[in-house]
A and B are shown apart, each in its own frame.
Chain A
């Protein structure tokens, strides 16, 4: 197969993976989780356990050590057989506490100690980075198989920059799909779906090679079994060694849970613990299928290929040398899948730990601000920290691979990682099962195991320092495993028993062990002296009155007077619950801790605080908006109501006044018409009484005319006939008409005839009515002797007219000035001159209809009215739009 075709096919496969991941992420974002959440996808994603080491290395392992390779599959199988009992509990607890990694789990269990998390992260990084390097190496090697024809001259470092290209591509993929969001559940649907697909590819590839080997190269199963039996008899190293088997079963069983990538897919990416019901049998079945043909391939490789061919590549070289190019390509894709899926998930898990337990705590410490003011600030920073960590892990892996030149045996590096992460297991299992486990124990156990692992396993594996002495007859690896785990467990148990119990972690432990609703916290019970700062804080949240009421009630429950209860766990729990109702659970927790506890905040706490702060901010804004809206509506309603009430009162009083004004002339009319029926009236009386009846009925008619006029004007339905008019003429006519009022009084009238010659567009009759009314009023009420009237006209800036009519009387007293334009204003006026008091109200309405106004000018000596007219009246306004008070 041409190398170019291989590269092209490989690139197409990578593009497919990007596409699948992208589509899955999009579907998840839209809430289409039906397929993505299927237990089958979950189970397949667990196959990230089968890295390139399993895919290529298991055959090499079998070729060297016979059946021992099976321990790598048997350990997980045993663990999964008990999945419903053990793993389900782990997943449930982890989901309950929103655990993001194995380091986070350990830290959460042991009092949310970030230092512990940082140590676990360190172990994970040291153990897993060479493992990442291993995957890069395997991809490079498999490329070389195609690039060269020789079976023996394959350089361990691979050719050119293959590993660099692979590392770069994987970093891109991981950043794209591993850091898209920062959801609280830390699930990555795109990554998981792509891994599930890769799981299918690698299984199919491996089964295809196996079938080809058994039925294509050998003569079926019985021939194969014969060949295996003959090989087993020949090999010294194929003996089953109980010490190694036991140790390897333990570490592989531990690895399936504790390896960062396994914890990621098994626990963090699990939607709930129920899918373990399927995974409990399906994942062991997958492992069985993956292991079924390992031994046949190893035996056939040994028999058909040259003795110095690399057994780690038998899977690929057997079909390649048999001319099965397509099968070889499929195998290449299988190995590629195994390597890439492992690298991606491992990098995500490591990056999460590094950013959450190294970078962010450091950043927060350097900022010296316990809580970020802006949630977006923290969010963006964590995402960037994670991207940086991904690049760093990938870069270190690649550098490690280039620097060490690769290792000769893939399996060795895998075991180093397994045994390293197994050191976390005692603390984890103990934390889940034993309430008495505490932080000192965890420190001691993890630290002890880490030290032994470094000295006896990791450093020798990279060629630093000599292997420590081992008792004769004991396998060094098994010895190191048993020693490190035993010391680890003993230290953990001993310090847990003798160490000081911390109430915070004791309750956290209760929550883990019982796997019931988490008891959020426990704080050291103290006297009432600690209650005061809590009261101060609560007052800021609830206001003084509510806070005092709550604290006094709590003190009363404890049988204390006053308002400072003892800081019992019960009181703190109730306070936190009340606070949580106001500010959110995480914030309430953090607030109380900051005052009462001094407990370290973890990153997940801070993330929750940030989330809640953001939500609370949005909620507050929404509420504020609604409140403003409500207040505005209430104000509008109140105003409308006030207006209606005023209108109603006005209407009642108006009707009362009309009644009075109608009944008064009616009383005279009725009384005198009865009197007229009296037979012996003198003709003089008869004439006089008939005259009174005539006058009073005229008064009634005028009143009704005025009321009708007013109602038409007020409704805006008055018919106006707009014509050009000369003000001089109108004033002349008004003076002449008004002289009928108290004709006995001789007024001196001051005018400016030149200024009066002003042409305007208006309803001349209506304007005349106003002028007559005002001049008549002057004639009626002006009390000066001799009476005088001044009429002053001038043009306004906008081409309208302003007419001031001022008499020399005593004017209108200030208190009444505001009322004179109201209807029936003269009702209680002792000086009322027969009218009902509608004249000026009508004038005001006429002027409004003409687009002008009439106002009283105070301080002019006598009664002074100003009439203002526009050059032309406005377009008639619809009655409905006219607003009247």
Chain B
């Protein structure tokens, strides 16, 4: 079973996050576009979703809202970690379980993911 699905359009950031979390022993999958994001979550049913806010075609907040409204209650309750490059001012994202501002310390990312998965 998949541990983490990451939806991020910047390939370098996606690669870095995947590298860091894979080394911790989690299985990480990537999706590179807002388009098809929610389908990817439904298909993979990950234990945790890492979601970039600014995505082409569909924004991270739109995908999050759709996820929370899903008729599958267990899917709708999937923990979501949001990544944002918009600075500290836009950290308030009420539907997300956690928010991490770019750029981040790798230790912070690891600690946050660990906490959310346990």
A residues with CB within 8 A of B: 656, 659-660, 663-664, 666-672, 674-675, 678, 685, 692, 695-696, 827-830, 832
Contact = CB atoms under 8 A, between A and B. Distances in A.
Task: Return the 3 tightest CB-CB contacts between A and B, nearest first.
Answer: A671-B16, A830-B56, A663-B85
18 contacts: A659-B85, A660-B86, A663-B87, A664-B85, A667-B85, A667-B103, A667-B104, A669-B103, A670-B104, A670-B105, A671-B16, A671-B20, A672-B12, A674-B105, A675-B20, A675-B106, A678-B23, A830-B33
Nearest to A668: B12
Interface in B39-82: 54, 56-57
B12 A666 contact: no
Given A656-B86, A830-B57, A666 B16 contact: no
Contacts of A668: 10, 12-13, 16
Q: For chain B, what secondary structure do more than half of its interface residues adopt (helix, strand, loop), or is it mixed?
A: loop
Given A670-B103, A832-B56, 12 more contacts: A660-B85, A660-B86, A663-B87, A663-B103, A664-B85, A667-B10, A670-B104, A670-B105, A672-B16, A685-B19, A692-B15, A830-B56
Given A660-B85, A668-B10, A829-B56, A674 B103 contact: no
A675 B103 contact: no
B19 A675 contact: yes
Interface in B76-116: 85-87, 101-106
Given A668-B16, A675-B106, A828 B87 contact: no
B93 to A, nearest CB: 16
B30 interface: no
B16 to A, nearest CB: 4
Nearest to A696: B12
B85 A828 contact: no
B29 interface: no
Interface residues of B, number: 23
Contacts of B13: 664, 667-668, 671
Given A659-B86, A672-B16, A675-B19, A664 B102 contact: yes
A829 B56 CA distance: 6
Contacts of B103: 663, 666-667, 669-671
B56 A663 contact: no
Contacts, number: 65
A179 B101 CA distance: 92
A671 B106 contact: yes
A670 B23 CA distance: 17
Contacts of A664: 10, 13, 85, 102
Contacts of A827: 54
A564 to B, nearest CB: 63
Contacts of A671: 13, 16-17, 20, 103-104, 106
Contacts of A675: 16, 19-20, 106
B87 A659 contact: yes
A668 B16 CA distance: 7
Interface in B1-33: 10, 12-13, 15-17, 19-20, 23, 33
A702 to B, nearest CB: 15
B110 to A, nearest CB: 11
A696 B15 CA distance: 13
Given A666-B103, A667-B104, A668-B12, A660 B54 contact: yes
A685 B15 CA distance: 11
A466 B64 CA distance: 127
Contacts of B86: 656, 659-660, 663
Nearest to A672: B16
Contacts of A830: 33, 35, 56-57
A667 B102 contact: yes
Nearest to A661: B85
B103 to A, nearest CB: 4
B115 to A, nearest CB: 19
A150 B103 CA distance: 135
A51 B87 CA distance: 105
Nearest to A831: B56
B56 A828 contact: yes
Most buried by B among A667, A675, A692: A667
A440 B34 CA distance: 103
